[in-house]
Amino acid sequence: MKYKRILLKLSGESLMGEQGYGIDPKRLNDYAEQIKEITKMGVQTGIVIGGGNIFRGLSGASKGFDRYKGDQMGMLATVINGLALSSALESIGVKARVLTAIRMEPVGEFYSKPKAIEALENGEVVILSAGTGNPYFTTDTGSSLRAIEIEADAMLKGTRVDGVYTADPEKYPNAIKFDEITYDEIYNRGLKVMDLTATTMCKENNMPIVVFDMDTYGNLKKVVSGENIGTVVKV
């Protein structure tokens, strides 16, 4: 097993599955089953989910929402997704705990690093929601921060694409995939793996990122087992 403790970043949009909005129960259950597989292997798992399937602060701002309030709405969307995932995990016998960056007991417990690490060491899946608790920060930055705080071995970024390419492979079929790439190369090539704040945090704290296709069942287990899928981003 390559990674003993991970931070798994899931996008809110991927929870939509084939739907145009909200949460697709089939996709949610697929994710829960894959997470169960790795917890049975003994992998300590923290999870951050985006909220783009419900509300995205930036797109809200472009439609006339105040950015500050729009980002707060986005944070709440991540809590809804976190509750849905924790429910799906518990329904298949996996202990899960929702920690929120904004106080909202009894919806979730208020996040602290010792609480998160204690839960991980007790074999619980820890779902870290509400981003950083601050506007103007994305869930990518929230993921980077939490990965560093919980002392994860790596941050795994589950996407629809099977790695980092020279260009968007959905638009450019001739784009070439990287097996490994450095943070500096991402900057220099202008690749949009994560936003710059998140990428810089990972670089400065030597946190590797593995970008892989989470929508192919079984890939999560392959990544934590050390199989060569996806793209590793490192210093």
Residue 148's CB: how many other CB atoms inside 10 A? 18
Query: Distance between CA atoms of 120 and 7, rounded to whole angstroms?
Result: 11
Element (H, E) at 180: strand 180-182
* pLDDT at residue 9 is higher than 70: yes
How do beta strands 177-178 and 164-165 pair? antiparallel
Residue 18: per-residue pLDDT: 87
Segment 113-127 shows an average pLDDT of: 98
- Region 156-160: what's the mean pLDDT? 94
Closest CA to 2 of 222, 162, 233, 231: 222
**Largest Cα–Cα separation, the chain:** 50
Phi, psi of 24 (to 5 degrees): -90, 115
Ordered domains of the chain (ranges, CATH):
5-234 (3.40.1160.10)
pLDDT at 21 over 80: yes
Query: In Å, how far are 33, 166, 168, 184, 185 from 188, measured between CA atoms?
Result: 38, 12, 16, 6, 5
Q: Which residue has the higher pLDDT, 20 or 82?
A: 82
Report the percentage of the chain scoring pLDDT > 90: 87
On whether the CB atoms of residues 49 and 12 are closer than 8 A, the answer is yes
Cα torsion through 78, 81, 83, 88, rounded to 10: -150
pLDDT of 20 strictly over 70: yes
- CA-closest candidate to residue 165, choices 186, 139, 183, 141: 186
Residues composing the chain: 235
With beta carbons less than 8 A apart as the criterion, state whether 82 and 53 touch. Answer: no
Q: What is the pLDDT of residue 221?
A: 97
Mean pLDDT of the chain: 94
Establish whether the linkage from the previous residue to 106 is cis, with ω within 30° of 0.
Answer: yes
What is the pLDDT at residue 60? Answer: 61
**Cα(36)–Cα(44) distance, rounded to whole angstroms?**
11
Instruction: Using the predicted structure, report yes or no on whether residue 183 has a pLDDT greater than 90.
Output: yes
pLDDT tens profile 188-222: 999 989 999 999 999 999 999 999 999 999 999 99
pTM of the entire predicted model:
0.95
State residue 63's pLDDT score.
72
Q: What is the pLDDT of residues 54-101, one digit of tens each?
A: 987 666 667 777 889 999 999 999 999 999 999 999 999 999 999 999
* Residue 163 pLDDT: 96
Residue 108 DSSP symbol? B
168 pLDDT band, cuts 50/70/90, is confident
In the block, residue with structure tokens 């969307």: 77
